[in-house]
A and B are shown apart, each in its own frame.
Chain A
Amino acid sequence: MSTLNSIRDTFFEECEDLMADLADGLAKMQSGSADPETVNAVFRAVHSVKGGAGAFSLTELVAFSHQFETVLDELRSDRLKLQPELMFTLLRSADHLTVLIEAARDGVDVDAVVTQNSAAALRIWLKPSSDAADAPASASESFSFAAVTLDFGAFDQLNDTPNEPELKHYEIAFQPTATLFSNGHEPALLFGELSRLGTVSSTIDLGELPAWEEFDTTVPFMKWTLKLASTAEIDQVRAVFEFVDGLCKLNIVVAPMPVDQEALQFEASLPPAPAPLPMRQAVAEPIAPVPEKPSPAVKAASVSPQISDQHGPKPTLRVELDRVDRLINAVGELIINQAMIAQRVNEMPVTTDSEVVTYVEDYRLLARDIQEAVMAIRAQPVKPLFQRMSRIVREAADATGKSAQLLAFGEEIEVDKTVIERLADPLTHMIRNAVDHGLESPEDRIKAGKEACGTIRLSAAHRSGRVIISIKDDGAGLNRPKILKIAKDKGLIPQDADLVEADIDSLLFQPGFSTAQKVSNLSGRGVGLDVVRTAVTALGGRVAINSVPGQGTEFTISLPLTLAVMDGMVVSVRGQTMIAPISSIVETIRPALSEVHSVGPSSKYLSILGEFIPIIDVAASLGIAPNTSPSDPPLLLLVESENQSQCALIVDEVHDQRQVVIKGLEHNYRSVQGVSAATVLGNGQIALILDLDAIAFQRSAPEAPAEASPLTKGA
């Protein structure tokens, strides 16, 4: 039972990959950059889902994917022409297939009516069309299967009536690779499948059979030459080898006539006695069985397998995340250990040119290399996440009666797997928001002189060691007066509050805020952007809003690349060593006393280039100790928060910059305000990693007077 379950789990894991391939292929088809292989890949994905689903008796899934596959088959054999309406159906079908897979995985039921409707939408494209035969000629170029069109051409030369099913003779050269066998494929089954198309005769070529003493059981050395007499099209023949695509050398050609001399030639390739060298040469060209007529078909067929060889997926390895995490932990320890050794060596009375110093430096570089390599294991492109979002946009547009498209950029940007996983929900929410609240109705858009179809741009980019994800709609922009009114009505702010635009925008992140006038399926369930912000903050990220009336709203999420290490500046605060994340620091300043201005009883401002920036004492905000007489000009870290506002933080000393391993406080203890995590220093001591944004932001939060709850109360 448990093994069956684990196979089942594997199936659903594979489904995820397959659906990603499917979405990928459909996106290419939609953008018009598809080639015949794209359609094949899409077909294969659906076909594999069907196959797997059949094994687990997931009948609904099988039925639907069969329908889907049939349409795709029509498309790839050029009997169906790709057109916008069909593209639409395909996209919706892919969405529904995803729903069905998820439902099957989670053991829940899907509304049968929806499935029926989706299947019906597919079936429309399957009505028997009389123009099926001349489809190849009329098919749009980008979607024709090269081999097929050429094949028809070749056939035409020999036969005036190509529309009639004609007995064709195929020559199939088949040489499996070791991977084919290790993946559990069995040539005999393929040949059996082939024999259902017509009469098959096979010849085995043992020319590469090595001498017994060199025999390696893991290396396949057999080649087959199969002859098939069948009325089937070359596509059907090719389809037999669909699942070993890339796992074998395959060459399928149409022989015009079974010629005797040709048969002789093949018999010759049977080794009567091992004669390796000449045999190899004979085998090198088994694809030229029609020497007197180098027809285009031969050329095309001999080219396409090579292409598909190159297209073969990069070899990958599925590894349990636990194992990777164990490795990452160990590497974290290695980095700390390296820092400890380096520190000890520095303290030793050795000259800087001594060997040990060189070795320690090598060790540092090596440790860093290992760490980067290990982090790369966890890094994944955001593409699958973005692909899911285009489905969300379609669903949201349907539900709201709007028309919307998603444009994704920077899909290749890689982020830690955990970040991607935990970003899925907030991103979904924001995308729905963008469609539901951001975009106007088609009528309003036309009135405003925009296209009826709204555009949501989802992009990812690297910026100074962080990943920036932006969700931008071209809608009406935030309705600030309305936001203000709602906030006042809900008592989130005083009635007489007078807020600047940025402050109004940030009201959206207040718990319990929702501007939807009526509760829709999509949003307005009381959980709003505050949930998004909480989720993003938990990942060490920030969210910012930027909105221009009439032009749209942009949400920007800034995230760390990894949750495991970061570059930090080592500072000391009241004798305690702490780490300030470099990503938030703009610069360090030691201002002249004249640049520091006291305002009111305790506030201080720094004047830079005519602007006044609030100064915050890190120690005071952490409640460490009362301010000692700051006679000297303080040392300041100028930090910038996501909404571009600046703040200067007082620290006592700045030491150096280094990479630190992030250790969470939550697991054994709890989260601490103003502290994002901890790290282990070279001396084995723990240093706290400051949450500079929280410290800087604290000033406007109600719990600002942190001096009341310091350590002094406990000690």
Chain B
Amino acid sequence: MTAVNDKATPQITEFVAFYSGGQSFSIEISQVREIRRWGPFTSVPHSPTGVLGVMNLRGSVIPIYDLAARLGLAPTPENPRNVIVVVMYGDQTLGLLVESVSEIMSVSNDSIQITPEMRAESGQTPIAGLINTDGGLTQIVDLASIIRARGTAAA
């Protein structure tokens, strides 16, 4: 990334991009703690839609969310090649089940698009913005609404 642009160097943010439910999503790299292979988890009673259960992450009990199901897409089919993206939100740690991780992208802030309806403070929008990529777009996941949707979002 050399500063060839006419204006001052824009802010660069790194994102981890992955596929879930056939679409591309991304999360800011500072929120991602690690990427783990899919493993067995323990289901939890009375779980809301898209919460698969809990797993052991080095002694911590963390919930696993099926990102696709959480976003209202079809639940991710079981596949040993699925991966779990472990993310931090505040002091909460949780895992997102996705199909595969594709790449780590460096994106300048001015190429992130925030559409007006996404900016709405309803908190219901799980997508915080869009990033133009070579072949299409990737959606920035808003972790807060993924967690908050809880039992209320019956898809």
Instruction: Name A's B-contacting residues (CB within 8 A).
Output: 329, 332-333, 336, 576, 622-624, 663-665, 667-670, 672-675, 678, 680, 684-688, 706, 709-711, 713-715
B59 pairs with A668, CB closer than 8 A: no
A668 touches B49 (CB 8 A): no
CA distance A469 to B40 in the complex (A): 41
CB distance from A252 to the nearest CB of B (A): 58
**Interface residue from A669, A673, A706 paired with B54 (Cβ < 8 Å):** A669
A687 touching B45, Cβ below 8 Å:
no
**How many angstroms from the CA of A672 to the CA of B48 in the assembled complex?**
11
Q: Beyond the given A672-B44, A710-B45, please list 4 additional residue pairs across the A-B interface where CB-CB is below 8 A.
A: A668-B60, A669-B44, A669-B54, A685-B56
B49 touches A687 (CB 8 A): no
Cα separation A576 to B54 with both chains bound (whole Å) = 13
**Which chain B positions have C-beta within 8 A of A686?**
41-42, 54-56, 61
**Known: A333-B59, A667-B92, A678-B42. Is A713-B54 also a contact (CB below 8 A)?**
no
**Does any Cβ of A come within 8 Å of B75's Cβ?**
yes
Contact with A663, one of B60, B93, B94, B150 (Cβ below 8 angstroms) = B60
**A337 to chain B: closest CB distance in Å?**
9
Q: Roughly how many angstroms separate A336 CA and B55 CA in the complex, as a whole number?
A: 15
Interface string of B51-86 (1 = CB under 8 A from A): 100111011111100000100000100000000000
The bracket for how many chain B residues form the interface is 20 to 34
- In the assembly, what is the distance between CA of A329 and CA of B93, in Å? 17
The interface residues of chain B lying within 8 Å CB-to-CB of A668 are 60-63, 92-94
Judged by DSSP, the binding face of A is mixed
Task: Point out the residues of chain B lying under 8 angstroms from A576, CB to CB.
Answer: 42-43
Q: For A714, list chain B residues within 8 Å (CB).
A: 47-51, 69
Bound complex: CA A225 to CA B16 (Å): 77
Q: Are B45 and A623 in contact (CB under 8 A)?
A: yes
Which 6 pairs, one residue from A and one from B, show the smallest C-beta to C-beta distance? A622-B45, A669-B63, A714-B49, A686-B42, A663-B61, A678-B61
Question: Quick one: given A686-B56, A714-B50, A715-B75, are A673 and B45 in contact (CB under 8 Å)?
Answer: yes
Report which residue of B40, B43, B75 has the largest number of chain A beta carbons within 10 angstroms of its beta carbon: B43
**8 A–B contact pairs at CB < 8 A?**
A670-B150, A680-B56, A685-B40, A686-B42, A710-B46, A713-B154, A714-B69, A715-B75
The docked-state distance in angstroms from the alpha carbon of A674 to that of B56 is 20
Contact A622 B42 (CB under 8 A): no
Shortest beta-carbon distance from A675 to chain B in Å = 6
Q: Distance in Å from the Cβ of B94 to the closest Cβ of chain A? A: 6
Docked Cα-Cα span, A684 to B91, in Å, equals 23
Q: Which residues of B contact A332 (CB under 8 A)?
A: 59
Contacts of B93 in A (CB 8 A): 668
Is there an interface contact between A675 and B45, defined as CB atoms closer than 8 Å?
yes
Is there contact, CB below 8 Å, between A706 and B46? yes
Verify B69–A665 contact, CB threshold 8 A.
no
Known A685-B56, A714-B69: A672·B61 in contact at CB below 8 Å: no
Complex interface: chain A residues within 8 A of B40 (CB): 685
If A667-B92, A668-B62 touch, whether A688 touches B75 (CB-CB below 8 Å) is no
